A and B are shown apart, each in its own frame.
Chain A
Amino acid sequence: MALPLHRAQCLANHATCSLASKQLRSYSSSPLPRARTRPCPRILYTSSSTRGSSLISLFSTLVGGANQLPRTPSAERVHAWLSRNLPDRPHPDIKRPFNWMRWGSAITIVLGLGTLLATASPYILPIVQNRNVWAAVSLISILLFISGHMFNHIRRVPYVAGDGRGGITYFSGNFQSQLGMETQIIAAICMFQATTQCALSICIDTDSCLPTDGLLAFCAIALIVKVPRIADSGTQQVAVIAWSVVLFSMYSFMLSIFRIKNNGYPFSLPPFM
């Protein structure tokens, strides 16, 4: 019976095997009993033949090789390989023993989690379904990612830097770098602006601001919550104008920070020119 594997393939396999065994040898601390022979797992595969022990194929269980076996071939891979090379005979399937431990622990964990969820749901559900919690989480994450928090994580930037004259630099003057504190200031400004805008929009048009209810709750600044509820229209108007001024100056401040980062930017707003 002739097997469809070429001698070249055998040699290629062997080459990888002996290469790997060289590495293996250099890693192993104890010397091998004989220098010439290096043990290396491989399947030696002799077929029915009339000539003297003809080795038809051999493959390394180590890296690669012509058969493209993984580093440690599974029983299934070897089974497939044998079946491919021994076409005209039955190939009994591999039966893995039932893994009691794994199934048992999986079922126990699933049941335990189910019980935990069922019993704890009266306490957990109100928290999970709370609008304000979701608003807080989403607002915090929005602010974090707007302000460049991930840049700090990835580049491991310093929190603050000296300006060389004993003072502190809060903002680094280019786009290629930033400081940890910088992002926090930006986040604070953004939050402040969001809060102010929210307050104003509620003053001006209550209906259009209903979705920002949760955001408002997160802001929880007593003054802002109170602005739309000011009964006296004159006082309310003063409050609206005051907050508009605050919003405008915050925006101006932000623009001035941007001008620190980008020196060539031509536009600015009062009061932070």
Chain B
Amino acid sequence: MRLLKTLLSAALLLAGAQAAKKSSAERFNDFHAKSQTLSPVKLKEPSYKTLTTAPRDYTVAVLLTALETRFGCQLCQEFQPEYELLAQSWAKGDKSGESRLIFGTLDFVDGRDIFVQVRNGFTAA
């Protein structure tokens, strides 16, 4: 399982590098394929940026979370199984990608800068 996750994130990284040039539909297809095997898609900084690049013709729901125990975020851990259930049910119920919605998770350790960015974005704008 661990190996699978490592492989997946490596693949995501590579895909992310390439996807920067890809069109919106291609990106959606990539991530939709991923979400069929593992949903919510575990995002890292590059893949997050790829996924949220404009223009896009799909919707993304990203859960910003901090699962490691050192952050002491009990709510993150309580909510995680619920979110996974939602994302998996959605992925199973929408194999063709009709809803144009992708579920992702971004952990604090994987995207610290994005946390800052999001925070500033919402307080400033």
Are A48 and B89 closer than 8 Å at their CB atoms? Answer: no
Known: A10-B122, A14-B122, A54-B54. A43 touches B112 (CB 8 A): no
Which residue of B is nearest A13, CB measured? B122
Contact with A along B69-110 (1 / 0, CB 8 A): 011110110110011011001101110001111000010100
Closest CB pairs A-B (n = 7): A92-B93, A39-B66, A28-B72, A39-B108, A75-B86, A75-B82, A44-B62
Are A28 and B71 closer than 8 Å at their CB atoms? Answer: yes
Q: Which of A28, A55, A72 contacts B122 (CB 8 A)?
A: A55
Q: How large is the interface on A (under 10, 10 to 19, 20 to 34, 35 or more residues)?
A: 35 or more
Interface residues of B (CB under 8 A from A): 52-66, 70-73, 75-76, 78-79, 82-83, 85-86, 89-90, 92-94, 98-101, 106, 108, 112, 115-116, 118-119, 121-123, 125
CB distance from A14 to the nearest CB of B (A): 5
Which residue of B is nearest A7, CB measured? B125
Is A46's CB within 8 Å of the partner chain B? yes
Q: A34 vs B53: C-alpha distance in the bound complex, in angstroms?
A: 27
B residues in contact with A95, CB < 8 Å: 89, 92-93
CB distance from B72 to the nearest CB of A (A): 3
B residues in contact with A7, CB < 8 Å: 125
Is A91's CB within 8 Å of the partner chain B? yes
A-B interface contact total, Cβ < 8 Å:
142
Q: A214 vs B62: C-alpha distance in the bound complex, in angstroms?
A: 71
Interface residues of A (CB under 8 A from B): 1, 7, 10-11, 14, 18, 24, 27-30, 32-34, 36-37, 39-55, 58, 61-62, 71-75, 78-79, 82, 86, 89-97
B residues in contact with A91, CB < 8 Å: 99
Are A48 and B56 closer than 8 Å at their CB atoms? Answer: yes
Q: A44 vs B49: C-alpha distance in the bound complex, in angstroms?
A: 13
Q: A1 vs B101: C-alpha distance in the bound complex, in angstroms?
A: 13
B residues in contact with A46, CB < 8 Å: 52, 59-60, 62
| 19 examples of A-B residue contacts, CB within 8 angstroms | A10-B122, A28-B71, A34-B112, A37-B115, A39-B71, A39-B76, A39-B108, A40-B73, A41-B65, A41-B73, A44-B61, A46-B59, A48-B56, A61-B79, A71-B75, A73-B79, A78-B83, A86-B99, A86-B101
